[in-house]
Amino acid sequence: MSKRRVVVTGVGLVSPLGNTSADTWEGLIAGRSGVGPITRFDTSQHRVRFAAETRNFDPLNFVEKKEMKKMDFFIFYAIAATREAMADSGLAITPENAEMIGTYIGSGIGGFGVFEREHTKLVEGGPSRISPFFIPASIVNLASGYVSIIHGTKGPNSATATACSSGSHAIGDSFKIIQRGDAVAMICGGTEGAITPMSVGGFAAMHALSTRNDEPHRASRPFDKDRDGFVIGEGAGILILEEYEHAKARGAKIYAEIVGYGMTADAFHITSPSEDGDGARRVMLRSIQDAGIDPTLIDYINVHGTSTPAGDVLETTAIKRAFGDHAYRLAASSTKSMTGHLLGGAGGLEAGITVLAVKHQMLPPTINLDNPDPKCDLDYVAHTARQARVHYALSNSFGFGGTNAALLFKTIE
C-alpha cells in the first residue's frame, strides 16, 4: 500500500522579525537582525543583557483580556501563529471533519515566566497567593490544548517537550499521523516564550549564550570564527499539514510537500552533541531514506546553526559525513543569525522558513558571517539572500539530551 502524500497548506509565524510570516520572510530576505537589548526585565545584574524579542506583539489581538491571566506567552504565540496559518490555509473545521483534524504543538520550556511569577508569590505571601491558573498556564501541552479548544479540532491532540527539537518533532509526528490515516489535517509546530530572568540567567550560567552586550545585533554569528554562543529568541511557527488528496479536493493552495522525517539520539551528553556529529549525520540520512531519494538531490539545508563554538563545527562535520562531496554543492544557512534561537519553537519557525524557501525558490542568508571558521567551510549563504533552485530542502533541529530531528520538504508536483 502506498503512503499517503502530505502537503503544507498554511504557514503562520511569529518571530523577532515580525508577527506574521510575510513580515518574518521580508526580514530574513533583507538580512535584518531581530536581536537587541532586553526590554522585558531589568538586566543590570545579568551577565547577558540582550535577546531576540518579539516586537509590538499584543496578546489582546488574539485573546480576550479576561483570558490573559490563564496563559503564558508561549500560548499566546501559538494562538497567534495558528490563527494566521489557518486563515492562510482556508481549512474549515466542521462537525463532520473535526475528529479527523488534530493539533500537535511542541515547546521546550513552556510557561517559564508563569513559574517565576508564581514562585515569587509563594515566597512573599505563601501558598494561598498562588493563582489557580498557574498549572494550566505553564504546562507544555496547553499551547496545543488551547488551539484545539479555539478551533474545535477533535482529532489527535499532543505536544512534545524535546528541548530544541520540540517543534520539528511535533511536525514530523503530525506528518506520520496523516500518512497512516489517523487524521486528514494537523495544526502543528513549536512555540516558546522564555525570555525571562531565570531562563536567561540559567543559560548564561551554562556559558551557552553570547555575551556580546555592546553589539547585540552582531552576536548571533553561526559558523563565524568569532562566535561565542547563541542568542535566546521567542515566538512560534505553525504549519497546516494536510493529506494531499484532501487538500486538492478543496482547491487548497499548496506550499510544498513533506516527504521525510528522521529522529535519532546521540547517546552522548546532556548538553553537548556527539563529538563526531554522528547523531546529526544519521538524522539527516534517516529523513532522506524515509523519502526514498538519493542524498545528492538535496539542494538546501536550514541548519540548526546556533552560533555555539562546538555545535557549528559538529553540524558541519555531520553534513560532510552525510553527503560526501555533495556537501560542497548544496547550500545551507542558519536563520538563527537573524531570529536568535527559539529553543522549542525553533523547529516550527525554521520549518516554516524552509517551506517558504521552497515556495519562493529563495535562500535566506546567514548574517554576521564575517570571518568564517576554517572548520566550517561549506556554502552557508553568507550575508545576502540568494535566488536558487530548491527542489528538496532539509530543516535540522538538535536538542539537549542528544535528541535530533530532521524534516524534508520538496516542491509540489
Using DSSP's 3-state secondary structure scheme, residue 257 falls into strand
Tell me how far CA of residue 241 lies from CA of 175, 248, 329, in angstroms.
7, 13, 30
The one catalytic residue among 151, 169, 246, 304:
304
The one catalytic residue among 164, 188, 246, 376:
164
Rounded distance between C-alpha atoms, residue 141 and residue 145, angstroms = 6
188 flagged as catalytic = no
**C-alpha cell recorded at residue 4:** 499517503
Please provide the DSSP assignment of 199-211 as one string. Answer: HHHHHHHTT-B--
Question: What residues contact 221, with CB distance under 8 A and at least 6 apart?
Answer: 227, 307, 337, 367, 368, 369, 370
Using DSSP's 3-state secondary structure scheme, residue 178 falls into helix
269 flagged as catalytic = no
Helix and strand tally (H, E) in the chain?
12, 14
Tell me how far CA of residue 360 lies from CA of 10, 22, 395, in angstroms.
15, 12, 16
Looking from the CA of 276 toward its CB, the CA atoms found within 13 Å total 5
Rounded distance between C-alpha atoms, residue 157 and residue 167, angstroms = 14
The one catalytic residue among 151, 246, 341, 376:
341
164 flagged as catalytic = yes
Q: Furthest-apart CA pair in the chain: how many Å? A: 63
Q: Are 330 and 300 in contact (CB under 8 A)?
A: yes
Q: State the virtual CA torsion across 215, 216, 221, 226 in degrees, nearest 10.
A: 40
| Catalytically annotated residues | 164, 304, 341
